[in-house]
Amino acid sequence: MRRLPAGVEDLRGLRAARWIRESTPGQFDRYGPEAQLALQDAAIRRLGLEDTGLVWRAAHSGRTVYRTSEMAAMLDAARAGRFDVLVVGYVSRWQRNLRRTLELLEDRLHPAGVAVWFADEEILSSCDRHWDQMVAEATDAERSSRRLSRRITEGYASKRASQRDPGGHPPFGFRRNPAKLLEPVPEQAPVVQHIYELATAGEPDRAIAEAVDLSLDIVRGILTSPLYAGQLRDGTPGHWEPLVPRSLWDQARDVRAQRATRTGRPADPRRPYALAALHCAACGARLTGDTGYYRHRDPCPAFIAARPPETRPRLGRSPGHAYRMELYEQIVEGLLAEASLAAPTLAAVVADLQAPAPGVMAADRDRIRRERDRAMARYLRDRDPDALERTMRRLDAEEAAPPEAPTDEAVPADVAVRYLGELPETWRRAEGGSGRAKLAGALFERIEVLGLQEATVHLSRHAVRHGLGAALPERLAVLVNGRGERI
């Protein structure tokens, strides 16, 4: 383990990375992290740190930010030895969770030889003299978050009791009047009425969404919210006139309940899904794990068209929306088996497998392009120019950011050969647990599939360094057998 800096005087010359957090994406867009960056810049100059250019930006609540992919990526980089000091602008911008703060420092960062410098209070996490103050500041940050949460809850409760108003952002069909109270939007009331009429006629939610040109999530929110029947969620009457009669609301609820497949039961924790990076190759939507399947929640025509031909009619099936989890995981199994067979030949080709050249990775460029396409699609649907501008400005900044220079050392070919040779067995042994998800996350940036016809795999930097790209051909046929299932 690398030696931790015992005091401020030990920081000079160490490699610094940055952590920036805002509670919501809107805070990033409207206010930005300029104050945090200014504090970090000043601290790096004053302490004589070497700026590595590594920055992790999270738009998430401080109470649960430890669960985010940004936090996981930062911890992976710390474990890989890519930086020595994590510079945080404000203690409250790190986390607002005392328990997780101490766990991450004592169990993850300090054992990896990484200390945290809180620039606002000039606290070093690895300095014994700063420990009491750091714990006190972290406690204050969580205390403030809990107090604010209580005040918000109390405010909404008071508003419900005195004004019979739910508070919060108005859903489709409603707006806030000058008194900040909920009121129906006359122009949207016929759309809401039509949605309930279609639901009572037995139309599926997805067909309703297409008929009224709204997103599936909005339609499902309309059909499950009692606000449209003039009631608060606790069953008490609201102060506004209902958009649909209560009898129509009840009828739509009963019709939809007859088609329900989950009936509120929790997900089975014994059914782990290994491929969190699985996406549709046509529209870019992520496929999610659901009751033993990887499911396209809003299947595009190209994904549905890629379904295998039916050998015989199947009653009640809408094929092409989901595939059994083991079928997609067979793709990974086939890739790893091919790499294992090709691994012994690598030593004759190269002496060392060098780290990838610096620059924006292809997966990042593809992600930015997909996000731009989705932003334009949302604009055409919602006509919100401010949201479009915020998204495009953020993507422009990511695209213009200087490339991250790799700091990883080259992997000797014999190490890569042994690593590739062990991958199939590692994958097999991890079946049924979270190990497969961790292994897939280490190997793949993204996997794009079109049904079971084709898959495009984007390798991670870790996988490229260990020779997986060199061991695999550009195209590979993997035999899997399956068909689409009902959604």
In this prediction, residue 482 carries a pLDDT of 47
Which tens digits make up the pLDDT trace of 121-165?
899 999 999 888 888 888 888 888 788 778 877 776 776 677 778
**Cα 29–31–34 angle (5° rounding)?**
105
Provide, rounded to the nearest whole percent, the portion of the chain with pLDDT above 90.
20
82 band by pLDDT with thresholds 50, 70 and 90: very high
**437 in Cβ contact with 272 (< 8 Å):** yes
Banded pLDDT at 248 (limits 50, 70, 90): very high
Contact between 353 and 343 (Cβ < 8 Å): no
Using pLDDT thresholds of 50, 70 and 90, give the confidence band for residue 403: low
**For 21, which DSSP code?**
E
Q: Is the pLDDT higher at 414 or at 421?
A: 421
Is residue 444 packed enough to be buried (19+ CB in 10 Å), middle (13-18) or exposed (0-12)?
buried
Class of the domain covering 164-259: alpha beta
Q: What Cα–Cα distance (Å) separates residue 418 from each residue in 136, 368, 423?
A: 48, 35, 9
Q: How far apart are CA 451 and CA 297, in angstroms?
A: 13
> In terms of pLDDT, which residue wins out, 371 or 202?
202
pLDDT at 174 over 80: yes
Return the half-sphere exposure (C-beta side, CA atoms, 13 A cut-off) of residue 94.
Answer: 31
Select from 180, 193, 196 the least CA-distant residue to 239.
Answer: 180
Average pLDDT (214-239) is: 89
**Rounded CA separation 153/83 (Å):** 41
- DSSP structure string for 142-202: HHHHHHHHHHHHHHHHHHHHHH----SS--TTEEE-TTS-EEE-TTTHHHHHHHHHHHHTT
The arithmetic mean of pLDDT across residues 348-372, rounded, is 55
Query: Which has the higher per-residue pLDDT, 4 or 362?
Result: 4
Classify residue 297 by its DSSP letter. S
Of 97, 117, 96, 115, nearest to 106 by C-alpha is 115
**Strand 293-295 relative to strand 288-290: parallel, antiparallel, unpaired?**
antiparallel
Mean pLDDT, range 32-45, rounded to an integer: 85
pLDDT in tens, 299-349: 888 888 888 766 555 544 456 788 888 888 888 888 888 887 776 665 544
Please name the residue that has the structure tokens 């969620």: 233
Q: Taking Cα atoms as reference points, which of 331, 338, 340 lies closest to residue 275?
A: 331
**Mean pLDDT for the stretch of residues 417-436:** 80
Domain boundaries, the chain: 8-144, 164-259, 271-357+406-487
Same fold, 8-144 and 164-259: no
Whether 362 shows a pLDDT value over 80: the answer reads no
Give the fold, CATH level 3, of 8-144.
Rossmann fold (3.40.50)
pTM of the complete model: 0.42
pLDDT 10s digits, 284-298: 888 888 778 888 887
